[in-house]
Amino acid sequence: MIILSLDSSSKNLSVAINNNNMVLCEISCNSNLKHSEIIISTIKSALRYSNLKIKDIDVFAVTNGPGSFTGIRTGLSIIKSMSFSTNKQIFVVSSLEALAYNLLNVLENITICSCISLNNNKVYSSTFKIISNEVVRVSNDKEISNENLISELSKFDEQIYLVGEDSEKIFGMSNLNNLILVSENLRYLKSSLLSYKFARNKENNKILVKAENLNPNYLSICQAEKVYISSRENR
């Protein structure tokens, strides 16, 4: 099964094409959230390097957030367009859960905290465990202040492995002895792992969605909406 995967939820844009568990091509670049300028050319390059055409793709996989509002909108619109044009369905993964897959097959029986940047000293975060070579969710995706996240992590007795683009910041702010900052190559989301998650579990075929049912998971409202609500409250 040929799977094209895309993540544009953070500063790092990642596109991959897998044949089941085999990575045919993966391209990652830090575009500083200017994904709309390079996302089409990056997908075309991945297809060209894999010697494939868009019609050869069997399933599309994408992260739907949380993360950058603009990045998520851009990524989902591209995936929707490709899904409509090929009549192929979509596999959807939380960007925070996808980050936890970075440590699958690297470490076992560990606790992971995924962190994605948000403005105003906040992050999107959730916690996972790797048990018996499976990623198991411990907490729901949430918006939380840096200070409150550190306070939550201080309650864990075990070591916590930090992944995600804001993991270094959280690590630097805290004085907790149980936090471990993973190496830089393991901090950023790899879109090939979306395909890996799908290919591992054939039951995921039951939760494929059509393009019209693909929705973002923003978790919070955008800054423009916050300003609008504030202005109405102050009238």
Residues of the chain with pLDDT under 70: 33, 202-205, 221-235
**Rounded CA gap, 221 and 230, in Å?**
12
Amino acid (one-letter) located at 227: V
Query: Who contacts 11 (Cβ-Cβ below 8 Å, separation ≥6)?
Result: 30, 31, 32, 33, 68, 117, 165
pTM over 0.95: no
Q: Please report the pLDDT score of residue 13 as a whole number.
A: 93
Q: Please report the pLDDT score of residue 31 as a whole number.
A: 72
79: left (phi over 0), alpha (psi -120 to 50) or beta: alpha
